[in-house]
Amino acid sequence: MPSLRLLKVLLAIGTIVTVLHLLLSPNLPRGYQAGVPPESPRYVYHHYTTANHYPNAADGAGQTPNATANHAPIEAALALPPLASTPGPVKACFVILVRNRELFALRASIRQLEDRFNHKYHYPYVFLNDEPFTDEFMRYITRFTSGNATFGVVPTEHWSYPPWIDQQKAIIARIKMGNVIYGSSESYRHMCRFNSGFFYHHPLLAEYEYYWRVEPGVDFTCDIDYDPFVYMKQRDLTYGFTISMKEIAETVPTLWETTRQFMRARPGLVDPKRNTLGWVTDQSLETYNLCHFWSNFEIARLDFFRSEKYQAYFDYLDRAGGFFYERWGDAPVHSLAAAMFLPREKIHWFDDIGYVHQKIENCPMDSDVNYGKCTCNPMSNFYLLMPSCTREFKALDADASLDISGLLKS
């Protein structure tokens, strides 16, 4: 009778033979064979190293920081064969800020997004990272994307400290916020600042009119049998969301007061009669109720963020330092901008899109929609819980504007 030690050796040899057979088998898809690249990947890799492509990212003196003659883009086209089908009817794309280590979480999300929606429309993807993407990442991701994919690097200037930030003060702030989610994270703050004020200026997004933000690890739980981009464009909508909630108060102690100061400093940018401020504050405009759209899912017009109004607001916030001295997130920044600059009819709740992020979900409660298209439980809808602000959003009158003339005079 063979010894236990011999059995273990034989088992190990058998495992190695099986793995080698699988890796080298000609019956496997080429992208999964050892050392064999996938057939005709539809992607282009762009490595941008400069801020000179971002004309609105100027410093206080009106000059783009660190702009030199060496800042020309470096582009390495790996492959870009024509697609078999025509892209969607709107100039739109998915925008995904992701790191190489999140490959498999994102791959699962993209597979769901394709199965639920994009296999019919083939919209392109723009992937952004604060470091170069690995070839493995690009090969594995494009295995599942039905539309063209481009991969870009975030310029260092947009993922680092601007010169007016006291980094020692920023360190102390992170230490003090150690008991708050992401409160001690430096990279999280860079991400929030990038998503608040720079992503929409990236050259890879220059040709697009609308974008749909997607994050690694999210789930899409319902078939989407219409085109949300077309829906937005036909109705002249500017911003769409699935989930809203209250922000953590400790992360934004001065955000609202800074926003009030901005409205006083730039009174001509906020229309007193066409805003949605009634969703985030009351008639006094003294306090912020912390409501915001959860921006990990948003479908929006890029020209809203590229507008003079929005850029002026971001620049004002950026100078105040709250992205680093507190923990201002892009979600409340986007939301307060929408409240100031958009009337109620320009904002849309996609209540029929099933979406889950970190166990918080939007699940259609219409039984006809849920029965035929979804796998989620409508009783798990975050809309039913107190932290949600979507009930208040739905309850807004068509005119949810607050007259801010009193604030502007104070």
Catalytic residues, by residue number, are 298
By C-alpha distance, which of 188, 125, 126 is closest to 159? 188
Reported in sequence order, the residue ranges of 100-242 that DSSP labels E, i.e. its strands, are 125-129, 149-153, 210-213, 219-220, 239-241
CA distance 69 to 197: 24
CA distance 162 to 100: 26
CA distance 60 to 62: 5
Q: What is the greatest pairwise CA distance in the chain?
A: 95
Which residue type sits at 329? G
By C-alpha distance, which of 170, 334, 322 is closest to 251? 322
CA distance 216 to 104: 8
In which element (H, E) is residue 291 found?
A: strand 291-293
Can you say whether the dihedral through the CA atoms of 43, 47, 52, 58 is positive or negative? positive
If you write DSSP's letter for every residue of 331-351 in order, what string do you get? HHHHHHHHHHH--GGGEEE-T
The percent of the chain in helix, strand and coil, each rounded to the nearest 5, is 40, 15, 45
Burial class (CB in 10 A: 0-12, 13-18, 19+), 204: buried
Q: Phi/psi of residue 220, each to 5°? A: -115, 115
Which residue blocks in 143-296 are alpha helix, DSSP H? 167-176, 186-197, 228-234, 255-265
CA distance 109 to 111: 5
- Neighbouring C-beta atoms of residue 47, cutoff 10 Å: 14
